[in-house]
A and B are shown apart, each in its own frame.
Chain A
Amino acid sequence: QKEVEQNSGPLSVPEGAIASLNCTYSDRGSQSFFWYRQYSGKSPELIMFIYSNGDKEDGRFTAQLNKASQYVSLLIRDSQPSDSATYLCAVGGIKAAGNKLTFGGGTRVLVKP
């Protein structure tokens, strides 16, 4: 069983709508959670990270973490065509694990004008 699971998509969203992406993880010891955006042919770039249960907002992006249910989500408000990309969820453990991250397979998002 893959440790970090994401729906591969594509998730098709009208421009201006909210895109909702989900990610589940299997390791209950996970402590840090990241969302990366990757445009086609480019490298991943960090959008947000979250450590505590609840919501964290940064501009049009909101990350939500529920450790009891082992899921983390990303909301993109007022979606724009420039948000069309693959979004990677990454989960990190304790410092002694060498700061390793485990990545999900990514969700492809397509924002239609």
Chain B
Amino acid sequence: NAGVTQTPKFQVLKTGQSMTLQCAQDMNHNSMYWYRQDPGMGLRLIYYSASEGTTDKGEVPNGYNVSRLNKREFSLRLESAAPSQTSVYFCASSELGTPNEQFFGPGTRLTVL
């Protein structure tokens, strides 16, 4: 039981390049989330998927797109990376209802030059 997995662990991009961050969970959770974490800013929600087939914007969605591929997988795409997107990205999952604690993946450290 791996929990929440993310790939890649590290990535360096040049401004304007695109990439997709992958996330998968094996806990049969309905809801999945993408966060970014910047120093002193805590975790900020980018996009989330309350259940398979639905996605919604979070607090900071600009410059990102998501795909809920199936119940297990939720990907985050940067179409044209910018230095302001340099951050650590975490994927999380949770079950519907209460308690709705979220379980986090190990994170992807992204640098955009």
Contacts and interface: CB of A to CB of B under 8 A. Distances in A.
A37 B64 CA distance: 27
Contacts of A43: 90, 104-107
Contacts of A34: 101
Interface residues of A, number: 25
Interface in B85-112: 90, 94, 96-107
Interface string A95-107: 1001111111110
Contacts of B25: none
Q: How large is the interface on B (under 10, 10 to 19, 20 to 34, 35 or more residues)?
A: 20 to 34
B42 A105 contact: yes
A45 interface: yes
Contacts of A42: 106-107
B104 A44 contact: yes
Interface string A38-50: 0000111110010
Interface stretch (B14-22, B43-51, B71-79): B43-51
A92 B43 CA distance: 14
A94 to B, nearest CB: 10
B97 to A, nearest CB: 6
Contacts of A105: 40-42
Contacts of B61: none
Interface of B: 31, 33, 35, 40-45, 48, 50, 56, 58, 90, 94, 96-107
Interface of A: 4, 8, 31-32, 34, 42-46, 49, 51, 88, 90, 92, 95, 98-106
